[in-house]
Amino acid sequence: MSRIENGLDSGDEIAVTTMFDKDVNPLFENLKSFNSSIKDRIEKYYSKLGPYDILYKRRKDFEESLLTLISSLSALIEEEETKAQIIIPHYF
């Protein structure tokens, strides 16, 4: 907890995800067989999570936006480079 109080680094995110995949989720699957009350609570937890991708929605949205921006800038630079080569041939 003390490591993540100030925020998560990319390595921390991977460690937390790995912990859920390897430790928490299998434990929940085993606990569901104890009784219906526990099973209902675990299923409610999973239903609130929604699809697994929901955990990464903001990051995925950011990465897609960044990719769009980079692609647009790259296309603009290529276009301007072509124009500049016509005016003054050079290596860039």
Q: Are residues 46 and 70 in the same domain?
A: no
Mean pLDDT by 10 residues, the chain (92 residues): 72 77 91 92 84 65 89 94 90 70
Q: Are residues 60 and 89 in the same domain?
A: yes
- Residue 11, pLDDT score: 72
- 32 Cβ contact partners less than 8 Å away, ≥ 6 residues apart: 38, 39, 42, 43
- Say how many domains are in the chain: 2
Expressed as residue numbers, the domain containing 45 is 1-50
- Residue 68, pLDDT score: 94
Q: Are residues 32 and 61 in the same domain?
A: no
Q: Are residues 46 and 64 in the same domain?
A: no
Q: What is the DSSP letter of 4?
A: T
Q: Are residues 46 and 2 in the same domain?
A: yes
Q: Are residues 45 and 69 in the same domain?
A: no
Q: Are residues 34 and 76 in the same domain?
A: no
- Residue 37, pLDDT score: 93
- Are residues 4 and 12 in contact, defined by beta-carbon separation less than 8 angstroms? yes
Q: Read off the tokens for 5.
A: 């109080």
pTM score, two decimals? Answer: 0.46
